[in-house]
Amino acid sequence: MKRPYEKEGTDRLNRKRFAVILVRPESPENIGLAARAMRNTGFEEMRLVGLKALDPEATRTAIHSRSILDRARFFPTLAEAVADRHLVLASTARFRKTFTVLPLEESVRTVLAFPRIARVGLVFGSERTGLSSEELGAANFVFYIPQASTQPSYNLASAVLLTLFALFSRSAGEIVARESLPIPRKEQEDCLRLIIRKLERKDFIHPGNRIHVTEMVQDLFGRLALTEKDRRFLLALLDKATD
């Protein structure tokens, strides 16, 4: 059965203007997982700094996301990789004396405050060394992802995923939260009345408990926000039970 995913033409964030920039990534697995995270959240452009080519191992983890790797662009330096960007955000797991560091949530709000045509670079450093101070200096904003403990920092692909998901979920207004439509409230209430009548006929309801049982029925079946399928099933069940 289909699941709800973003409908065509609902990309309010204009994700094509984003580039995910990985600086000297050491693990091909992480590059592949970053590509998969991009596909999951609808981002397309990957840039790689300090690599000349991709290790074939990267394709193992890039399930259904090979095309992102195929179109990845290679840059010798971070300065070249961000040259065409209007706005550059760099991720850090370690605080520096010099740079003001925003938490992920605030960095997302920062991005969303700029015009939806601004070209944005999201920069992530290597697994082992992160970004150098010089590389942080190439960014307009430096951000971190909150965590519970000092160690370990988020895995590289995890940092990419959390960042892209935070952007995606704030811009994907067209994903319907629930698949199923409740029946109109009048029909829900008709159904509740029918249930109560069935319970009366079986003497489950009597003057001493009428109000209490009625309220229990309203609460229990109200919370279900009954669909057509629920109603049919529930009434059939009660007919059987009160036979």
Per CB under 8 A, residues contacting a copy of itself are: 1-6, 29, 33, 36-37, 39-42, 61, 63-65, 92-97, 100-103, 105-106, 144, 146-155, 157-158, 161-162, 165, 168-169, 172, 175, 177-180
Taking the complex as a whole, how short is the minimal distance between the CB of residue 171 and a copy of itself, in angstroms?
A: 10
Q: What number of residues does the chain have?
A: 243
* Chain centre distance of CA 117: 22
Judged by DSSP in three states, 228 sits in helix
Taking the complex as a whole, how short is the minimal distance between the CB of residue 184 and a copy of itself, in angstroms?
A: 18
CB 90 within 8 A of CB 135: yes
CB closer to a copy of itself, 158 vs 242: 158
Taking the complex as a whole, how short is the minimal distance between the CB of residue 194 and a copy of itself, in angstroms?
A: 22
Residues 6 or more apart in contact with residue 229 via CB below 8 angstroms:
180
CB closer to a copy of itself, 147 vs 209: 147
CB closer to a copy of itself, 49 vs 91: 91
Taking the complex as a whole, how short is the minimal distance between the CB of residue 63 and a copy of itself, in angstroms?
A: 5
Taking the complex as a whole, how short is the minimal distance between the CB of residue 176 and a copy of itself, in angstroms?
A: 9
Residues 6 or more apart in contact with residue 54 via CB below 8 angstroms:
28, 31, 48, 69, 72
Residues 6 or more apart in contact with residue 58 via CB below 8 angstroms:
28, 29, 31, 32, 35, 69
The CA distance from 24 to 22, in Å, is 6
CB closer to a copy of itself, 6 vs 200: 6
CB closer to a copy of itself, 74 vs 99: 99
